[in-house]
Amino acid sequence: MTEKKTKAKMRITGSEAVIRSLMHENVDTIFGFPGGAIMPVYDALYDFRDKFNHVLVRHEQGAIHAAQGYARVTGKVGTVIVTSGPGATNLTTGLADAMIDSTPLVCISGQVSAALLGSDAFQETDVVGITMPITKWNIQVNAPEEIPDAIAKAYYIASSGRPGPVLIDIAKNAQFGELDYEYTRCNFIRSYRPEPPLEPSAIDAAANIINQAKKPFALIGQGILLGSAEKELQAFLEKADIPAAWTLLGLSALPTSHPLNMGMLGMHGNYAPNIKTNECDVLIAIGMRFDDRVTSDLKKYARQAKMIHLEIDPAEVNKNVKADVAVLGNVKDTLPLLTKKIKSAKHAEWIGEFRECSKVEFEKVIKHAVHPEKKGLTMGEVINLLTEKTNGEAILVTDVGQHQMMGARYFKFNQSRSIVTSGGLGTMGFGIPAALGAKIGRPDRTVIGIVGDGGFQMTMQELGTVYQTGAAVKIVLLNNNYLGMVRQWQELFFDKRYSFTELTNPDFMKLAEGFRIEATKVTERSELNASINKMLEHNGPFLLEVVVEKEGNVFPMVPTGAAVSEMILENKS
């Protein structure tokens, strides 16, 4: 039930107990912003500042997005500390984002003293009530002796099973009060079952269906990355020669160059996997939740196929798509058992059908996106050149919009945990702080943050954090002076009525200069190659602004309400 305890009890304050508890959880990095209700904890942190890398952000939303980036690339739990009231409420977007994208976080917020709760005291907010729907677990701590146990449970819950964000709201009196401190790491909670029990009969049933399949197709989700099951996935796919495609958050779970990797699923995914979804005879979903951006119209989604769903969270099974067989459990455990049961097979003709679809997409879309003949620079060619120069070894962090889809389509991945993006919530402003957190988490890897001019301006104050930390983030700003994805929809589905989507932008070069960050602006194709080289060779953070065509679109595209097999490759108007 427990791991080791501290050797002897110490009489310390609750605020020191917070810091010592984080040390027992092997926390090395804290993203935070101090304030009145959390000041005792920050005062305690002063005496332990050599034990942590504390990143002072410019806004609490920046703190939680940075912690998300850190968690996604390291596999560790991201840690955030903020004050009460607006400090805590500024976390809510990030909490919702982390909840839907299964990102492990522990957020600690200060709160007014317990005696003042319910009195509308200065900066009092019911943060537990506000965040209950968007956290995996939350708790308010009103006494100092409750602190160690709350923190131990928080890290266990955040990181076990299907990961997610946890919030601990600590009253100020609990921070000032004293306790006899001892710490016990948590690995069991009686009412909490992070992983469902494995059913051998489900493995047998799934294997039987796969062994009879003529056209099997695997869908790879983020569950592979969260379960560290990349090798198990490859062994499974290769034994039965099963073509596979990844979701947006499943990117990098399988190398881009792997012969069984057919690309990305979804609204702006690749043509072949979307078309073949409605032609396969067995669909094997692995660690994914059948998001509407993957399935589009459920009434037209893979009706011909038998469904096998490998999933750790029982709530996701049969929620959107009914499974013929559900294999519950961590894919790290279930995939090897399934691999043992399936027969070796070859599906060359079926895989060849994917290849033919890919040729169609290359001729109609990819060729023009990455090697355009027109004068204006395109997002696709910028991203294609970036991935060529980083040899598929960089971590890609994106904001949300057209550039996000272009990055997912044209960036190449050789290593796992190489994509950080806001998938389920689609949070504009995510990119800069998440890239910062990713670089702090993996300083050994090149981190490229791709942002649009809209999302960039939502959290551009975090350039101050980038400068202060010195984190060598390479930020590529693809500037089309529009809220590009909204404008694309207005063009295609609202008769080109561009209602409030055109942006009058600041001088981004002067902005970078103000934050003392090296920067270059590219307006011509002839400048692009040298400018990317300059950015990648620079020893420190860098902002590269590339002015791209104003009305470029992301294709292919599955229109709203259409079947995935009704993907359009180009604008017909």
- Is residue 276 among the annotated active site residues? no
* Mode of pairing for the β-strands spanning 178-181 and 10-13: antiparallel
Q: What is the pLDDT along the chain (573 residues), one digit of tens a residue?
A: 444 454 568 999 999 999 999 999 999 999 999 999 999 999 999 999 999 999 999 999 999 999 999 999 999 999 999 999 999 999 999 999 999 999 999 999 999 999 999 999 999 999 999 999 999 999 999 999 999 999 999 999 999 999 999 999 999 999 999 999 999 999 999 999 999 999 999 999 999 999 999 999 999 999 999 999 999 999 999 999 999 999 999 999 999 999 999 999 999 999 999 999 999 999 999 999 999 999 999 999 999 999 999 999 999 999 999 999 999 999 999 999 999 999 999 999 999 999 999 999 999 999 999 999 878 999 999 999 999 999 999 999 999 999 999 999 999 999 999 999 999 999 999 999 999 999 999 999 999 999 999 999 999 999 999 999 999 999 999 999 999 999 999 999 999 999 999 999 999 999 999 999 999 999 999 999 999 999 999 999 999 999 999 999 999 999 988 999 999 998 765
If you compute the radius of gyration of the chain from its CA atoms, what whole number of angstroms results? 24
Cβ atoms within 10 Å, residue 428: 22
Q: Encoding tokens for residue 80?
A: 């955030």
Catalytic residue among 153, 172, 215, 276: 172
Would you say 455 and 429 are in contact if contact means Cβ atoms under 8 Å apart? yes
Would you say 453 and 521 are in contact if contact means Cβ atoms under 8 Å apart? no
Catalytic residue among 39, 52, 123, 341: 123
CA-to-CA dists, residue 334 to 144, 210, 227, 327, 339, angstroms: 42, 15, 11, 7, 9
- Is residue 485 among the annotated active site residues? yes
Bridge partners, 32 (sequence order): 56, 81
- Is residue 172 among the annotated active site residues? yes
Would you say 350 and 218 are in contact if contact means Cβ atoms under 8 Å apart? no
Q: Is the dihedral of CA 160, 164, 165, 167 positive or negative?
A: negative
Would you say 89 and 134 are in contact if contact means Cβ atoms under 8 Å apart? no
In single-letter form, the type of residue at position 420 comes to V
Q: How far apart are CA 464 and CA 58, in angstroms?
A: 7
Q: For residue 509, which of 544, 483, 462 has the smallest C-alpha distance?
A: 544
- Is residue 60 among the annotated active site residues? yes
Would you say 42 and 13 are in contact if contact means Cβ atoms under 8 Å apart? no
In single-letter form, the type of residue at position 140 comes to Q
Catalytic residue among 485, 535, 557, 567: 485
Would you say 270 and 361 are in contact if contact means Cβ atoms under 8 Å apart? yes
Catalytic residue among 3, 9, 122, 359: 122
Q: Please tell me what DSSP assigns to residue 341.
A: H
- Is residue 307 among the annotated active site residues? no
Residues in the chain: 573
Catalytic residue among 25, 31, 33, 60: 60
Q: Which domains does the chain have, with CATH numbers?
A: 9-181 (3.40.50.970), 200-353 (3.40.50.1220), 375-548 (3.40.50.970)
Q: For residue 556, which of 539, 544, 543, 571 has the smallest C-alpha distance?
A: 571
